[in-house]
Every structure is written in C-alpha cells, then in structure tokens.
Homo-oligomer: A and B are copies of this chain.
Amino acid sequence: MSASITTLQQLLFDLAGVLPADTAPLFAMTRQRKLEANETYIREGDTERRLAFIEQGIMRAYIIKHNGDEATLFLRWEKQFIASHDTIIHRKPSRFIYRALEPVSLMEIDYDVLEEVLKTHPEYEPLRNFFLMRMLSESLNIMEAFVTLSPEERYRNLLTERFDLVNRVPDKYIASMLGITPVSLSRIRKRMLDKGKG
C-alpha cells in the first residue's frame, strides 16, 4: 500500500467519512508513476487530462514565452496536487510544460476516468472539491503577493514560508516565479546580505 494512498484515504475519511475499505473503486483507477530528474511529465500540446498527487520530489510548471524564454508559473512538491489546467478546465492542449526537478514519484489519474468514477461514486466528490479549493487558495495567495508586495518582499515571504523549497530549487526558477530575472534576484540577495551586516 503506497503512502500516498494512505494519505488520500485519510483525507477522504476526514472530509466525507468514507472508510478506507470503501475506496477501492477510486484507487483502482490510479497509477503509480516515477519520473527521473528533468523528465517531462506533460509536454506542450499534450491533451491528456492528467491529475496527479506528488508523493516525493518537486515539479515545475512553466510556459515558453513568445520570445522563447521560459516562465515558471509554480512549483509543486510532496503531498500536493498537480494538474494540467488547460486540458482539465478548458479541454485544450496544454500550453504549459510540467517537468520533474528531482526524481519524482506520483500517483496519477486521468480526469476523464475520475469523472466516470465520480458518477457512480458521488461519495468521493468531496475530494475533487478539496483539490480545487486547494489550488484556488494557492493561486489567490500568489495573486495577493503580486499586488501587495515588491519583488524583494515576495522573496522574503518565500524564504520564511518555504525555506526548504528555496534551497532545493535553482534560483533562476524562483526568480521567474517571482516575476523577475535571475540577475535581479541575485541583487536582491546581495542587498539582503548587506543589510544584515549593517
């Protein structure tokens, strides 16, 4: 029994009182999947409606801008959901690329299959709600940071709230998530060090 199934069974019990023994129809449709570091999980143009729960490792969602540069939209790590939102929400080919930054193990389900399961087992519905709300909450937090904080403040925020994460991920991806260039992030770090010395 994988650790992530146990986690999700517990979640389903907490949310809806569904007993672990009654979750077989759901977990029968999930697959375990391993990714190597730097392996691409979803490519630009893919249409599979993948929804995954990350058991181990960090993933990065990014897009290729018109000028060819990459822009990182977000990172996701252990015990978080990751999904190709273009395909799931809009049924369009993914404009984003989802790639493992470290060796990753995840549990995935196809969203079409999940919808079928939910038709016959509406008792799992709270789980879908939970993951949508979680994603919405995270997105709103990020939006909030963009309208209320300067780049330096957003970086400080990230350091206090996700120090472990910042240390596991190359700075250039952090910079991109913050909406700035790596050069600028480097200067921010320097300014922070200089202030610290006083």
Please give the distance in Å from A120's CB to the nearest CB on chain B: 13
Q: What copy number does this chain have within its complex?
A: 2
Give Cα A144–Cα B73 distance, bound, in whole angstroms.
6
Give Cα A148–Cα B61 distance, bound, in whole angstroms.
13
The answer, yes or no, to whether A132 is at the interface (CB within 8 Å) is yes
> On chain A, which size bracket covers the interface?
20 to 34
**Which B residues touch A133, using CB under 8 A?**
89, 132
Which of A71, A89, A147: most chain B Cβ within 10 A?
A147
**Which B residues touch A144, using CB under 8 A?**
63, 71, 73
Extra A-B contacts (14), CB below 8 Å, given A129-B129, A146-B146: A63-B148, A65-B148, A73-B140, A73-B144, A85-B137, A85-B140, A89-B136, A122-B122, A128-B129, A132-B132, A132-B133, A139-B140, A142-B146, A143-B143
